[in-house]
C-alpha cells in the first residue's frame, strides 16, 4: 500500500510541477504501477503532456489516459473551420504525403488516408495536435508496404542506447508489416521510447509489444 501511494503521489507531483499542464482537475489512481488519469484538462496538448509526464515516473508500468479535454469557451472552434485549418496544416507539412485528410466533428479530428511510413502518420498527428479547438484525434491513416527489418532494428537499438540499456535488452522480429518486440526495460518511459522507435520504421503497420518492465 505504501509503494502504491508513493507512486501515485510521485505522479501527482510530476503533473503539478510540469509547466505545460494545468493539473487542477486531474485525479491519479495507481494499482501495481498501472496508473489511470481521470478528470479534465483545458487543451489536447495538455492531454498528451499529462500522459508523457506520468509515464516518466519511476515505478509506473502503464498509463491509462482517461482525461477529457474541456475547452474554454474562447478556444472552441466550429467544425468546418477546424477541418479547414487541420487540412491546411497537413498540406504545408513536408513530412505528410498528399492524400492524408482531416475531418472535425464536435472538436474530434479524424485523420484518414494512406502513407508509406509510420513516421508520416506520426507527422500528421503532430501537424494538427496543437490546433486550438481540438478535443481528441482519431488516427485512421493506413500504412502500406513491407517493413525493412534492418532499419527497424537500428532504430530500436538507438532508443535502447539513448536510455543506457544494452542492445540485447529487446529483441526485434519483423513479420510482414508487423514488428514484434520482446525483452525487458526498467520504466514505462523506456518501453514507450522503444515502441515509438519501432513505429518510426519504414512501412510498419503494427507493433506487438511484449516488453516487460522490471522497475
Residue the block writes with cell 472552434: 77
Q: How confident is the model at residue 87 (pLDDT cuts 50, 70, 90)?
A: very high
Q: What angle do CA 131, 11, 121 make, to 5 degrees?
A: 35
- 143, 175, 195 — which closes off a domain? 143
Q: Which of 1-10, 21-30, 75-84, 98-107 has the lowest mean pLDDT?
A: 1-10
Q: Check whether residue 78 and residue 138 sit in a common domain.
A: yes
Q: Check whether residue 153 and residue 195 sit in a common domain.
A: yes
Q: Check whether residue 82 and residue 123 sit in a common domain.
A: yes
Q: pLDDT digit string (tens) for 17-50?
A: 999 999 999 999 998 889 999 999 999 999 999 9
Q: Check whether residue 40 and residue 53 sit in a common domain.
A: yes
For residues 170 and 174, what is the distance between their CA atoms, to the nearest angstrom?
Answer: 13
Q: What residues have CB less than 8 Å from 150, skipping those under 6 apart?
A: none
Mean pLDDT for the stretch of residues 114-137: 92
For residues 195 and 214, what is the distance between their CA atoms, to the nearest angstrom?
Answer: 16
Q: How confident is the model at residue 8 (pLDDT cuts 50, 70, 90)?
A: very high
The DSSP symbol for 117 reads B
Residue the block writes with cell 488516427: 139
The CATH number that applies at residue 190 is: 3.30.300.130
Q: Check whether residue 157 and residue 191 sit in a common domain.
A: yes
DSSP character string of 31-65: ETTEEEEEEEESSHHHHHHHHHHHHTSTT--EEEE
Element holding 113 (H helix, E strand): none
Q: Check whether residue 59 and residue 22 sit in a common domain.
A: yes
- 127, 143, 159 — which closes off a domain? 143
pTM for the model:
0.66
> Residue 122's pLDDT is what?
93
Q: Check whether residue 57 and residue 82 sit in a common domain.
A: no
Q: Check whether residue 156 and residue 202 sit in a common domain.
A: yes
Range of the domain at 15: 2-69
Q: How confident is the model at residue 142 (pLDDT cuts 50, 70, 90)?
A: confident
The CATH number that applies at residue 61 is: 3.30.1340
Give the chain's mean pLDDT.
Answer: 92
- 104, 122, 143 — which closes off a domain? 143
Q: What angle do CA 54, 58, 60 make, to 5 degrees?
A: 55
> Residue 111's pLDDT is what?
98
Q: pLDDT digit string (tens) for 157-175?
A: 999 999 999 999 999 998 8
Please answer whether residues 38 and 11 qualify as being in contact, where contact means their C-beta atoms are separated by less than 8 angstroms.
no
Q: What residues have CB less than 8 Å from 174, skipping those under 6 apart?
A: 147, 149, 152, 180
Please answer whether residues 4 and 31 qualify as being in contact, where contact means their C-beta atoms are separated by less than 8 angstroms.
yes
Number of domains in the chain: 3
Mapping DSSP to helix (H, G, I), strand (E, B) and coil, where does residue 169 land?
A: helix
Q: Check whether residue 136 and residue 169 sit in a common domain.
A: no
Rounded to a whole number, what is the largest CA-CA distance in the chain?
A: 53
Amino acid at each position: 500500500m505504501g509503494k502504491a501511494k508513493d507512486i501515485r503521489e510521485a505522479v501527482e507531483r510530476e503533473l503539478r510541477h510540469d509547466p505545460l499542464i494545468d493539473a487542477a482537475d486531474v485525479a491519479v489512481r495507481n494499482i501495481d504501477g498501472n496508473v489511470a488519469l481521470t478528470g479534465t484538462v483545458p487543451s489536447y496538448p495538455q492531454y498528451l503532456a499529462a500522459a508523457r509526464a506520468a509515464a516518466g515516473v519511476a515505478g509506473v508500468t502503464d498509463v491509462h489516459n482517461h482525461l477529457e479535454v474541456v475547452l474554454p469557451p474562447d478556444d472552441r472552434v466550429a467544425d468546418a473551420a477546424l477541418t479547414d485549418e487541420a487540412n491546411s496544416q497537413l498540406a504545408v507539412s513536408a513530412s505528410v504525403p498528399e492524400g492524408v485528410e482531416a475531418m472535425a466533428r464536435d472538436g474530434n479530428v479524424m485523420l484518414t488516408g494512406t502513407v508509406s511510413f509510420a513516421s508520416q502518420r506520426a507527422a500528421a498527428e503532430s501537424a494538427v495536435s496543437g490546433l486550438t479547438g481540438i478535443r481528441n484525434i482519431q488516427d485512421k491513416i493506413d500504412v502500406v508496404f513491407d517493413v525493412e527489418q534492418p532499419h527497424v532494428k537500428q532504430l530500436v537499438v538507438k532508443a535502447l542506447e539513448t536510455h543506457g540499456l544494452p542492445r540485447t535488452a529487446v529483441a526485434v522480429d519483423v513479420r510482414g508489416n508487423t514488428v514484434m518486440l520482446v525483452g525487458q526495460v526498467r520504466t514505462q518511459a523506456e518501453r514507450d521510447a522503444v515502441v515509438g522507435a519501432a513505429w518510426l520504421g519504414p512501412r510498419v503497420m503494427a507493433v506487438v509489444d511484449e516488453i516487460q518492465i522490471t522497475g
